[in-house]
Structure formats: structure tokens, C-alpha cells
A and B are shown apart, each in its own frame.
Chain A
Amino acid sequence: MGLAAKKQDATEARLAALSLPSGAGWADAARVEAVSRFRAMGLPDRRDEYWRFTRPDDLNLPKAPEAAIFDPQEAPVYSDIDRLQIVFRDGVFDPEASDDLSLEGIEIERLATATTKDIHWSKDIYGVLEARGQNPVARPFAALNTAFATDGIVIRATGQVSKPVHLRYLHEKIDSDAILHFVIRVEPGANLTVLENGPAAARFNKCMEVDVADTGIFNHIRTQGRDHERRAITHLFARLGEESSFKSFTMTANGVLTRNEAFIELTGDNASAHIAGAAMGDGDFHHDDTIFVTHDAVNCESRQVFKKVLRNGAVGTFQGKILVKEGAQKTDGYQISQSLLLDEDAQFLAKPELEIYADDVACSHGSTSGAIDESALFYLRSRGVPENEAQALLVLAFLAEAIEEIEDEAIADDILGRLEGWLSRHRG
């Protein structure tokens, strides 16, 4: 059998294991279109340019590989923050466990409800931003998500939202295969923060489409982990209007396979997009950040800050691109991807890219990979700081630039505490 035929068979087998939710109003057409997008792309394999560093096998399988239920034995992140909590159990919305979805300045609906309404704002976004993000690089699992999402929430911020919306994922069945889709619209002048955490499922496919209108502000903070056996593929699609602001930060701890893709388009002048990640892995860990930022307007700013701490065979990958389209003058683009390898077995694979078609721009990118600075370690120890503490201090210093991208100080402190906890559990 030829390789192309193999790919096609795997794609059809994946499709055969899923069924399209029907009777969901306008979404039906979007889903059918997504199926044909998916079919045209096919499942990825290692010969696809953006899948060379990450094996998609576990994501390609028709059935989710099992994952043990993880008990973190500590209070979940964001516990101390006043927030509106929306709970999903193995990818199914749990209204009992969730807070009342009504809140001033915001409309929140379950996807299944929104799609049955003939006229609904989310119709213009669902699958639309995802489809925009399929070019020039295919993202088959995102199309698969649009087609087969079993649940999800649509959120529209119309003003100052008084507290963050927290999407909390719980994993209870060892073979759950969750596909969740979120549609978010931030109206002009509105301000929304979305938090995410929790293990979600044995295998988790999540797609979030975020449309930020002119002068809108969107903040996103996500934590993934420490459920070791999860397989997760997530996509974040964002379209940013004039003078809008977008910030996204992800902390990842452990996990045999996590791939976080982002596709962010700056379509209005003077917009700003920051996306950052801090990932920590020990042993059987594979973490992939695949980030595309497209400048398609004048005087926009973007920052990509991705840091990984790896030890004991852990693998981190980063594929990041800044694309500056023709006419996107005065672009200020920045990208940094760095790994701290705590021993010689860890591995970091990076593919930083700049593609620029405008002549008046300032773009910079850098990628480094290195060990703990021995002279700094000795300096700290010579002042009385024990080796473990000194190492933790240096690791946190390494991650600082990413953590600084967290807008909210209380959340940043909470996350810093989690990082410290991880470091104290994973000492050399």
C-alpha cells in the first residue's frame, strides 16, 4: 500500500469512529464543511512539515488510548480567585457543578443551544476562524473538532465583565475522548478573561475561536497538567480588530503528549497580541507549541515567549512563525523560544520562522537551549542557598519572562506556586 493510501485509510478509519451530531441548526452545514476540509487534509504523519517533531499516532487512532485518573492532592489552581466556573466532565458540560451562567456584561450559552437559534452571533465565527487558520499550514485536528465537537460554550462579552470565566475540565473515565469547541466574541470596548484548567479526558481535542473586535481586550490563562497520561491537541484561533489586545499564557506540567497550536491574526491597526508558555517535563514528556502570528495591519505588536524546562528524556518542541503581510508596516514582532535542559537526556527541537513582506518593520526572534549556569549555581550556593533551592531559583528566573505575560498578579502568584511545587517534586 502506498503512503498516500495509508494516510487516506487512517483518515477514513478516524472518521468512521465518529458520528456527526445532527439537528443542531446552522451548525450542521458548518460541520459538514469541516468534514470535507478534514478529509482533504487527511490525518498528519511524520512527513508533514509541521509534524516532524511530534508523533501524531495517539491522536490519529480511532479510539483514545487509556489514561489513568490523576489525583493532584492539592487545591486546583484559581481556587482563591472570584470567578464564574463552568465545569466539564470528560468533555460534557455539567450544569449542576457549574455556576449560574448569567453575569453582567456577558452572554454565555451552551453550544448546542446557540446553534439551534436561526440568528446567532456565533454563526459568523464557528468554524470560520478555524478555516482561516488552515492556510498555509493544515491543522486537521481543528477541522475534526469543528465537525465533531460534542459540547462547548459560546461566550460574548459586551462590556466590562466583573470576573473571569473559568473553564474547568474534569477527567473521570479512563478512555474518554473529548472534543470541545468554544466560540468567544469580545465586543468593542469589552474586556474578558478566560481561565482554563484540569485534565479534561484521556484524549482531549479542544478548539477555541476568539474574535476580538476593535478596542476589545481578551486575556487567557490556562494550566495543563499534571495528569501524566493525557493526550491533548488544542487550537487557539484569534482574529484581532483595531486597537484590540490579546494575551494568552499557558503553563504545562507533565503529559506524554500535548500539542498546543495557535493561529493569531492581527487584522486591525494598532492591535497587540502576546502569547506565552511555560512547560515543564520530566521523563516521558512530549510538549509541542506550534504558534503562528500573522500581521495584516499597520503598527501592530506581537510577542511570543515560550520557555521549557526539561529533564530525564523529556522532549519539548517549538514551531513558531511571525508572518508580516505586505502593507503591515510598523510591525513590531518578537519571538523567543528557550529550553533549559536539566540533564543530557532532555531534548529541545525548535523551528523559529520569520516571513516578512513589508519593508518598515522591526522583528526579532531567538531560540536557545542550554543547561543551568554552573557559575550562577555556585555563586548562590557560596552565599548559603542549598543546591536544590538555588536550582529552583535559577529555573524560575529562566521562566520569568513567560510568567510576566500573565496579566493578573494574583493568578501569576498562584501559578508561580505551582511551578515551585513541581520543581520540588522533580529534583535531580
Chain B
Amino acid sequence: MLNIKNLHVKLEEEDKAILKGVDLDVPAGAVHAIMGPNGSGKSTLSYVLSGKNGYEVTDGEATLDGADILAMEPEERAAAGLFLAFQYPVEIPGVGNMTFLRTALNAQRKARGEEEISAADFLKSIREKAKSLKIDADMLKRPVNVGFSGGEKKRNEILQMAMLEPRMCILDETDSGLDVDAMRLVSEGVNALRDEGRSFLVITHYQRLLDHIEPDVVHIMADGRIVKSGGPELALEVEKNGYADLLGEVA
């Protein structure tokens, strides 16, 4: 599904390399996790894949089902099935949550040559999905993320994911700022979407999230590269011994 080869990325504004040759393959239906210390390039990888400004790809490639996503606009990547659950979801005053989701869903459908969803079908679907994430009608009506708590913002990300039904979901530190209950709710939302045609890349600092969203493969990222890959036990090792041990071993 997602194939990244030798990806090199630097900041557009300064001569600072952040990703220094990332290789990663996430097959259809798989859940991969990326762990790593602060500043290792995890979030940069998620931004570059989703098309945020400010980064320059100096080498390598990234494809989604063979299509070169790095050549696409962010909205084209979304229509192609890529979704990033933001570490810091953005507040958009004046744009209602429902309007936002419906506009996004219909824009993606239009880009794929599909028909727009009817207002009734949309309402039915969003109510159902919001309910399982404990998002009430008031949160749906309010402007996007405005006045939402940290947990509400993350639940709102998962709601968007559930509504847009992407094939490749990247979760960027979705566990940050979540209490135990919220983490369970968010994880259940993610697990409900697990499907053989859908893949996940879960970026996190802590093993905790991976107790709830069980990964098939865990990668350790350090200094802009994937330095070690393994099964879920790798996450436990990080939890027990920290990154320093592991990185020392790699070096």
C-alpha cells in the first residue's frame, strides 16, 4: 500500500536535513508503528506524506498503491485515500464541524468521480459514528475544534477518519494529551476501522497506545532513518530500556 524508498527531506527555509533515507513498506491491511525519540523525524515524515508546506524532498520516493504521492497536492493525496490524524488538530473558527466534514467528503467523492452524498445519508452516517466516539450533537455543530478539549480534538480526528474512510491512515501521536479513558475510546475507534483493505501507520512516543492498537510491525526511528524493525516486542523493549540502550546497540 504505502511504499517509501530512501526518502530524504530537508527544511525548505534552511539547510537542515531531517529525513536521511527512510525506507518503509506498509502492506494492505497492516498496522505499523513508528517509535523514536524527540527530533527523530517522525512527525516530519507524516507532514511530508500529507503534503504540508515547508519541506523539500531532496531524494527518494513515496508511493501509495504505486502512485507518486509526493507529486500531488494535499487534497489529491486525501482523495487518493491518505489521511493524517494531526498531533495538533487545527481550530477553524466560523466553519461548522458538520459543514467541514460534508464539504471534505463531497470534495473527495467529486475528485474520484463519485456522486455526492445526500444530506440524509450524511446525517445518518455521522450521527452513528459520532455516537460510538461519544461526540454529541453540540460538538458536531460547533466550529471545527474550537473550544474542544485535547481529548475531544483527538476524537474528532478519528470521527473524520471514520467518515472519510481513507485506505492509508497516519496517526501522529494521537495518544498525546489523552487520559486513559480517552485513549481507550480513540483506540476503539481506530480498531473498528481495521480492515484488510486499510493500513495504519501509528506514530507514538510510548508503548501504551500500542497496548490498545496492536501493531504488526514496530519501527524505531532515529536521526531521520528507520534503524530497527521488529514485532510488537520491540515496543516493549523500548518501554523497558528506553531508546538510549537500543540506539547504542544499533550504533
| Chain A residues within CB distance 8 Å of chain B | 373-376, 378-387, 389-390, 393-394, 396-398, 400-401
Contacts and interface: CB of A to CB of B under 8 A. Distances in A.
A359 B103 CA distance: 48
A383 B108 CA distance: 8
B94 A382 contact: no
A401 B95 CA distance: 12
A382 B107 contact: no
Interface in B55-112: 73-75, 77-79, 83-84, 86, 89-95, 99-101, 103-105, 107-108, 111
Pick from A384, A397, A400 the residue with the most CB of B within 10 Å: A384
B164 A384 contact: yes
A381 B86 contact: no
Contacts of B74: 378, 381-382
Given A374-B53, A379-B86, A385 B107 contact: yes
A386 B75 contact: yes
Given A383-B160, A393-B103, 17 more contacts: A376-B91, A378-B74, A379-B89, A379-B92, A381-B73, A382-B83, A383-B108, A384-B104, A384-B108, A384-B111, A384-B164, A387-B73, A387-B75, A393-B95, A394-B92, A397-B94, A397-B143
Contact of A380 (B51, B91, B92, B164): B92
Nearest to B145: A379
Given A385-B75, A386-B75, A387-B75, A380 B94 contact: no
21 contacts: A374-B53, A375-B90, A379-B90, A379-B144, A381-B78, A382-B51, A382-B75, A382-B77, A383-B78, A383-B101, A383-B104, A383-B108, A384-B75, A384-B79, A384-B164, A385-B103, A386-B111, A389-B103, A393-B100, A397-B93, A397-B95
B228 interface: no
Across chains A and B, which 6 residue pairs bring their CB atoms closest together, nearest first?
A397-B94, A384-B78, A384-B108, A383-B104, A381-B74, A379-B90
Contacts of A386: 73, 75, 107, 111
Nearest to A396: B94
Given A386-B75, A386-B107, A381 B51 contact: yes
A394 to B, nearest CB: 7
B174 interface: no
Nearest to A390: B75
Interface string B7-51: 000000000000000000000000000000000000000000011
B92 A381 contact: no
Given A383-B160, A383-B164, A384-B79, A389 B107 contact: yes
Contact of B92 (A376, A384, A387, A389): A376
